Amino acid sequence: MRSDIINSKRRWLLRGRFGAEHETLRPPWAVTEDNFLDLCTRCGDCIRTCPEQIIKPGSGRFPEIDFNQGECTFCAECVDVCEPGALLRSADSAPWQLAPEISQRCLAHNRTVCRTCGEQCEPEAIAFRPVLGGISSPQVDEQACTGCGACQGACPVNAIAIRPMTGAE
């Protein structure tokens, strides 16, 4: 493993960035994390070409996704400019296996009507089932979710985090 990668991982540990809560999200169609860190030259081409401007330089200047800036439209422009092959799209590959995780800060979980995340979800992967005498809470259908991140940036109380799906590699 390259020394700059080891130093980057050491910085994450010393800053308390470990565990699922601080999972690094790479651009769509990124190869596995170890291969990504080996292949990515940190040239910034994917960052500059992203029309949604959600790819940002992260720890060690490696590109990371920031869904607070917007959503991924899966245009694949980042893949097209990635000469080293850290982003690699094949005809049958999904861009990633991500889905929203909704925390207890969610307004609906706290008896306040809010459906912002569901309204932003184009594939309708977030639904609000009627509750007799109560406020409907968001339910996520991971099979329908594309992991685009539109719900995260739209949440007024930052109750949504996009995470790798349960059982995803």
Beta strand 138-140 with 126-128 is antiparallel
Per-residue pLDDT at 46: 98
Instruction: Clarify whether residues 71 and 124 are in a common domain.
Output: no
Asked if residue 78 lies in contact with residue 43, where contact means CB atoms within 8 angstroms, the answer is no
Mark the ranges of the chain whose per-residue pLDDT is less than 50: 1, 11-12, 15, 17, 19-21, 169
Q: What would the pLDDT profile of 120-162 be if each residue is shown by its tens digit? A: 999 999 999 888 888 999 999 999 999 999 999 999 999 999 9
90 located within any domain: no
Instruction: Clarify whether residues 77 and 102 are in a common domain.
Output: no
Instruction: Clarify whether residues 10 and 58 are in a common domain.
Output: yes
Residue 124 belongs to what domain range?
98-164
